[in-house]
């Protein structure tokens, strides 16, 4: 297990990396959102994550407190539906890090985050939302850790690859939730901005994690094994 000062440093580095990436992707995300939403996803997220990175730039907070602070800051700075979805879910899931960031607590965080997003957004798989990127990512991460017993970095790399497949899946399907759902069939053929930003965030978390952990980062979401046992169910599947 990585010691607590290193965890704190990694969380600060991750918050910075995500803030920088979303700033770089601001126009692209807004372009995606202008096709099927209200054209504010990029700027809202970039502003929020910049404030979140600034908010954790201290050395006193525990990892749990840092992650909670990121969530609380996003709630107040992002607004719209992304504020409660990203910020509220991070805030709520942060308690899984009460004993620090480990492979096990990271799986618990991922599951708690997905559950909260689904609950808050009342969205199931296939509604053309961030749930479509998160679900394959969380399932792949959980199985890679708990069944395949891969190194945590490799497991997270597979999860990130799984999120990318989820993002691609949002393109050809019709929106059932969020602003895009009002467009009905016109939403088909457009990539979901929330799924896309979720994948971008995971890519940055992976890049930062690679500075602290050993393992592969260039892997496919495919699994090398057929499990003997099934992990506990993640959430309630539609």
Partner 1 sequence: MIGLVVVSHSHKAAEGICELAAEMGGDPPLEPAGGDGEGGIGTDAERIGDAIAAADDGEGAVVLVDLGSAVMNAELAIEMTDANATIADAPILEGALNAAVEATNDKSTVDSVLEKAEEARTYRKTS
Interface with partner 1 in residues 178-237 (CB under 8 A): 178-179
Residue 120 within binding range of partner 1, rule CB under 8 A:
yes
Residue 176 within binding range of partner 1, rule CB under 8 A:
no
Among 81, 103, 114, 153, binds partner 1 (CB under 8 A): 81
Q: Pick between residue 129 and residue 170 the one whose CB is nearest to partner 1.
A: 129
Size of the site for partner 1 (CB under 8 A): 15
Tokens of 154: 């490799």
Distance of alpha carbon 191 from alpha carbon 189, whole angstroms: 7
Distance of alpha carbon 110 from alpha carbon 104, whole angstroms: 10
Residue 114 within binding range of partner 1, rule CB under 8 A:
no
Shortest Å distance, C-beta 88 to partner 1: 5
Shortest Å distance, C-beta 179 to partner 1: 7
Shortest Å distance, C-beta 80 to partner 1: 5
Question: CA 124: distance to chain centroid?
Answer: 16
Q: Pick between residue 114 and residue 161 the one whose CB is nearest to partner 1.
A: 114
Residue 121 within binding range of partner 1, rule CB under 8 A:
yes
Residue 79 within binding range of partner 1, rule CB under 8 A:
yes
Q: Pick between residue 71 and residue 235 the one whose CB is nearest to partner 1.
A: 71
Tokens of 59: 């050395």
Interacting residues toward partner 1 by CB under 8 A:
38, 40, 75-76, 79-81, 83-85, 88, 120-121, 178-179
């Amino acid at each position: 297990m990585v010691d607590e000062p290193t965890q704190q440093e990694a969380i600060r580095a991750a918050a910075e990396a995500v803030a920088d990436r979303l700033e770089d992707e601001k126009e692209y995300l807004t372009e995606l959102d202008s096709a099927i939403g209200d054209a504010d996803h990029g700027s809202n997220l970039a502003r929020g994550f910049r404030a979140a990175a600034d908010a954790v730039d201290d050395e006193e907070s525990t990892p749990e407190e840092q992650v909670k602070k990121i969530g609380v800051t996003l709630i107040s700075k992002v607004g719209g539906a992304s504020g409660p979805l990203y910020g509220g879910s991070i805030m709520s899931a942060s308690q899984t890090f009460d004993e620090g960031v480990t492979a096990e607590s990271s799986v618990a965080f991922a599951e708690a985050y997905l559950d909260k997003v689904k609950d808050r957004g009342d969205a199931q798989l296939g509604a053309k939302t961030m749930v479509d990127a998160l679900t394959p990512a969380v399932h792949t991460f959980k199985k890679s850790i708990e069944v395949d017993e891969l190194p945590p970095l490799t497991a997270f790399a597979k999860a990130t690859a799984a999120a990318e497949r989820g993002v691609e899946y949002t393109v050809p399907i019709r929106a059932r939730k969020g602003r895009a759902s009002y467009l009905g069939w016109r939403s088909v053929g457009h990539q979901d901005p929330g799924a896309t930003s979720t994948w971008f965030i995971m890519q940055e978390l992976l890049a930062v994690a690679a500075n602290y952990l050993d393992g592969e980062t260039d892997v496919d979401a495919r699994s090398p094994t057929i499990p003997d046992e099934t992990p506990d169910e993640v959430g309630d599947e539609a």
